[in-house]
Structure 1
Amino acid sequence: MTLHRDDLTAYLDDYLSVGQFQDYCPNGLQVAGRSEIRRLVTGVTASQRLIDEAIERQADAILVHHGYFWKGEAAPITGIKRNRIAALLANDISLFAYHLPLDAHPDVGNNAQLAQLLGWTAEGTLGDSLVWHGRLDAVETGASLRQTLSETLEFPVLHIGEAEDEIETIAWCTGAAQSYLQQVIDAGIDAFVSGEISEPTVHLARESGVHYFAAGHHATERGGPEALGWHLAQRFGIHVEFVDLPIPV
């Protein structure tokens, strides 16, 4: 089966409700390659390693969560940016990237997939933020939840909090979402899981008594690209392969 690049662009923009988001980067088709897509590679970040893997797999397109052209980024196409884009153009490979829309989607989004993977019951979001909240499938201690997260995500999760405390309610937001911790504290939730941590996060978690789990930016955001790729394979019959390239943060 083949799918026209423009048809895929239109479908993804609609399916992921791109128009509802004010993002830090353009969502959708970022680099145009060949018009017909038979083989699609999905991944978390459009790094040179992922591009090289896509070339080796003879992919027609790449779909990622972290693409290019971020706000505040230098505009000239030089150095690493030049090398990546040159490789895409030389091999006629399209690049699709969906950032906040892929965090928020209720089915294939990163937050939805993290909850599904860990068996959490989602009860809603905190206001209009990307933070989801709900309950664990069973009460855990701080230590046991850290172990569960580490084993499930295959990442050495950092836990700030008392190991013996019991945790029932939980909030989560994949990636770099540590700045939402105060909202979680205000909501009276027991614990917050995100991808990254910063120095102020440690003190805020310790002094509030809310548990904080830094579970890896990449590790918490594998679910969305993989699930979206599977969805596209089922819907359009194209060949899709998720390529996981873990990093230590």
Structure 2
Amino acid sequence: MKRHELDQFLRHLYQIETFDDYCYNGLQVEGAENIHKILLGVSFHSLLLEAAIREHADAIIVHHGIFGKDFFKIHEPFKKTLHTLLNKNISLFGIHLPMDAHPEIGNNAELARMIGASILEPFEVGFLVENTRNLSLQQIVNLYHKELDPDGENDATNHPSPLHYKSRGGIQYYDFGPDTPEKIGILSGGGSGYITDAQSLGADTYITGDIKEHLPAYLYDHGLNYINLGHYRSETTGVLALKRLIEKTFSVECVFRDIFNPI
């Protein structure tokens, strides 16, 4: 396929022009005109670029690309990474908030699908969803463990504090709310700061990719459940969904490289 075909496909798919983001979405670095192989990952960095070179990829698509809209400083060590990218003539596409918000193949839509939840309404770039299957909180955690963290081991903790998290593999959670959630706020990545907004919409459970120090006590006082999937885990979902769609739509080879980040 041609580079401009992929760029137009992504811009149309994610309605990129409708988002005011922290970065430029779409083709960030122009490489070869003809694309035979695409490498997809969550974040662009030197390790992912090395994988793309080994795979002889012509293009890279990530959720976390280069941040900065009109101008950004290029210093070491990123200067070396960018020099290599340009020298190898590899295109870089970054899709940030539009990949979170897509109602069908976005990060948050995929997180809802994994637990069989029904989307009620948009919430920031995530969704307020209904626990349609009446799953218990533990069942929800177990499903995410199976989908996102199957090789993770449980943390062995004997901490006396009631504010200490529980865990299933690398997934942390607090079960201060109902055993069977009704309304759930889902916001992938660094979405912990929006928990009060989800709560105001009636959410009794919140699923995101990070947590702040003050939140355990807040959750305890307000009787809320909270699942911290980890920023990286929560945002593999949309990238993998995009990979499947590109493979179904175009005759181009796609590979996903999981350079795991436990955070």
TM-score by length of 1: 0.91
**Larger strand share, 1 or 2:** 1
Q: 1:173 to 1:75 in 2, by over 3 A?
A: same
Q: 1:5 to 1:166 in 2, by over 3 A?
A: same
Q: 2:95 maps to what in 1?
A: 98
Q: 2:161 maps to what in 1?
A: none
Q: Tell me, what secondary structure is at the counterpart of 1:37? A: coil
1:208 maps onto 2:205 in alignment? no
Q: 1:19 maps to what in 2?
A: 17
The 2-side partners of 1:6 and 1:142 are apart by: 44
Q: 1:152 maps to what in 2?
A: 147
Q: 2:249 maps to what in 1?
A: 235
The 1-side partners of 2:47 and 2:114 are apart by: 26
Identity of aligned residues (%): 30
- Per mean C-alpha deviation after superposition, the further-off stretch among 205-214 and 161-170 is 161-170
1:199 maps onto 2:213 in alignment? yes
Q: 2:76 maps to what in 1?
A: 79
The 1-side partners of 2:93 and 2:74 are apart by: 18
The 2-side partners of 1:207 and 1:54 are apart by: 47
Deviations 1:160-181 (A, max 9, x none): 2338733232110111101110
Q: 2:3 maps to what in 1?
A: 5
Q: Cα distance, 1:137 vs. partner?
A: 4.2
Aligned AA (2:192): Q
Q: Cα distance, 1:152 vs. partner?
A: 2.7
Q: Tell me, what secondary structure is at the counterpart of 1:9? A: helix
Q: 1:41 maps to what in 2?
A: 39
Aligned AA (2:40): T
Q: 1:169 maps to what in 2?
A: 183
The 2-side partners of 1:205 and 1:164 are apart by: 12
The 1-side partners of 2:145 and 2:217 are apart by: 22
Deviations 1:105-153 (A, max 9, x none): 1121111111122222222223xx2231222243344444333333332
2:119 to 117, 122, 142: 122
Q: 1:161 to 1:240 in 2, by over 3 A?
A: same
The 1-side partners of 2:224 and 2:177 are apart by: 12
Q: Cα distance, 1:220 vs. partner?
A: 0.9
The 2-side partners of 1:6 and 1:141 are apart by: 46
Q: Cα distance, 1:79 vs. partner?
A: 1.2
Q: Tell me, what secondary structure is at the counterpart of 2:197? A: helix
Aligned AA (1:79): E
Tell whether the 8 Å contact from 1:142 to 1:162 is kept in structure 2 after alignment.
no
The 1-side partners of 2:42 and 2:218 are apart by: 29
The 1-side partners of 2:180 and 2:248 are apart by: 41
Q: Which runs of 5+ in 1 are unaligned?
A: none
Deviations 1:85-104 (A, max 9, x none): 11211211000000011111
Q: 1:235 to 1:210 in 2, by over 3 A?
A: same
Q: Which runs of 5+ in 2 are unaligned?
A: 150-168
The 2-side partners of 1:30 and 1:62 are apart by: 10
- Per mean C-alpha deviation after superposition, the further-off stretch among 145-154 and 18-27 is 145-154
Aligned AA (2:181): I
1:138 to 121, 126, 133: 133
Tell whether the 8 Å contact from 1:41 to 1:54 is kept in structure 2 after alignment.
yes
